[in-house]
Structure 1
């Protein structure tokens, strides 16, 4: 079992990353900070005769790396009540590769287990992040990814997540579960 953390924040060491680090403490994993990758927005050509055109960016290499993992933890701050732009662009580009001849993306996605970490501040993210959880759930249902669980934490300034005892308790539970896997 291989685990990947896909971090969608635009700030390093923010609350999403800090909470994810609690989840993955002493757990072998791959850490990908999407903001460090050059990923262009999609040009939707699903219905054109030529189909999607090749894009010269980091996405295809990232996708191949992503597909080599069994468990993926998607971590994002709650940005204007949705996922970060970097995370959304990562999902948008699936459209291009669902039709790509060299990829069996749909089949490979069906082999994945997904976890979601969201952190936010106001209004109460335990409620305001639920539509985003529903969006992740819909994405995973469409792609036949197994949605294992989610974790919502409260924090704005870096480090505030450590005052959310409930989120930290669940992060430690996940950590225990991940440490017990054969990695």
Structure 2
């Protein structure tokens, strides 16, 4: 983990186990935490009727870091719905904001998570891995 990293956190409970872990990692490494629940973002829309919500300004900030850490508890074998909306909106970076999307290439992506199992299902890690790789980022764990 480098000091030019940001944590993008999404959960139904800000101070649950994942939130506590995120706070500790951020404290130890002096990282900024962005809680997607603090932003007005709507799901991806093929007609781009949501261009004026908070996603693009937030994404511009996130893209300014060299390492992007996504943090979510394991919910039904995948990320939380709060974080899923954020990741789904990366589609905007492939269509209407391609220049911003290109700035993600070569960046490092990591995941922080907690769940009830000792190891999450492979599908959990794969959704992050494939999302990072699709955007031209490395998946670093």
State TM-score, norm by structure 1: 0.69
Aligned-residue offset at 1:54: 5.0
The runs of 5 or more residues in structure 2 that have no matched partner are none
- Are residues 1:126 and 2:139 paired? no
Q: CA deviation at 1:97?
A: 2.5
Instruction: Tell me which of 71, 77, 83 is aligned to 1:75.
Output: 71
Does the 8 Å CA contact 2:7/2:32 hold for their aligned counterparts? yes
Local SS of the residue matching 1:109: coil
Once the two structures are superposed, residues 76-130 of structure 1 have per-residue CA deviations (whole angstroms, 9 ceiling, x without a partner) of 01111111111111111111222225x4134211131111012111xx25143x2
Deviations 1:35-72 (A, max 9, x none): 11110111124xxxxxx345221111101111111111
8 Å CA contact retained: 2:42, 2:50: no
1:6-155 map, 5 Å: 6-45=8-47, 52-53=48-49, 55-100=51-96, 103-121=98-116, 124-128=117-121, 130-149=122-141
Distance 1:127 1:111, change over 3 A: closer
Q: Describe the SS at the equivalent of 1:79.
A: coil
Q: Distance in 1 between matches of 2:54 and 2:118?
A: 32
Please say which structure displays the higher CA radius of gyration.
1
Change (3 A) 1:6 1:127: closer
Paired positions, count: 139
Give the TM-score taking structure 2 as reference length. Answer: 0.88
Structure 1 runs of 4+ off > 4 angstroms?
none
